Amino acid sequence: MNPIDSEAVARLVDKQSAWLDQYQPGLRVTEQGTVVTVGDGITWIKGLPSAAIEDILVFDDGSRAMVFDLNRDLVGAILLYETEALTAGTLVRLSKNAPSIPVGDAFIGRVVDPLGAPLDGSPAPVSVGRGCLEKASPPIIARDFVHKPLYTGIKIIDTLIPIGRGQRQLLIGDEGLGRSSIAIDTVINQKDQNVVCIYVLIGQKRSTVVNTIETLRNASAMDYTVCVVAEASALPGLQYIAPFAGCALAEYWMAQGCDTLVIYDDLSTHARTYRELSLLLRRPPGREAYPGDVFFVHSRLLERSTCLNAENGGGSMTALPIVETQQGEIAAYIPTNLISITDGQIYLDANLFASGFRPAIDIAKSVSRIGGKAQHPSISSQAGRMKLDYLQFLELEAFSRFGQRLEATMEARIQRGRVLREILKQERLSPLSSTFQLAWLIAFNEHLFDQAKPEDIKNFLARLEKGVGETTLTLNSSPEQWLQAVRDWLGIKPEQQP
Catalytic residues: 369
What distance in Å separates the CA atoms of residue 110 and residue 119, rounded to the nearest whole number?
8
Return the SS3 of 480.
helix
DSSP label of 288: G
What distance in Å separates the CA atoms of residue 76 and residue 37, rounded to the nearest whole number?
10
Which of 444, 77, 113 is closest to 246 using CA atoms? 113
Q: Which residues, in sequence order, are CB contacts of 309 under 8 Å at separation 6+? A: 142, 143, 144
DSSP label of 316: E
CA distances from 19 to 7, 22, 24, 101, 355 (A): 18, 5, 10, 28, 73
What would the DSSP string read from start to end of 156-168?
Answer: HHHHHS--BTT-B
Which of 300, 212, 217, 247 is closest to 103 using CA atoms? 247
Please work out, in degrees rounded to the nearest 5, the angle formed at the alpha carbon of residue 424 by the alpha carbons of 419 and 428.
140
N-terminal to C-terminal alpha carbon distance within the chain: 90
Decide: residue 169, CB within 10 A, 0-12 exposed, 13-18 middle, 19+ buried. buried
CA distances from 40 to 80, 279, 281 (A): 12, 11, 10
DSSP label of 364: G
Q: Are 200 and 246 in contact (CB under 8 A)?
A: yes
Which of 85, 78, 37, 40 is closest to 56 using CA atoms? 78
Decide: residue 379, CB within 10 A, 0-12 exposed, 13-18 middle, 19+ buried. buried
AA letter at 471: T
Centre a 10 Å sphere on the Cβ of residue 143 and count the other Cβ atoms it contains: 16
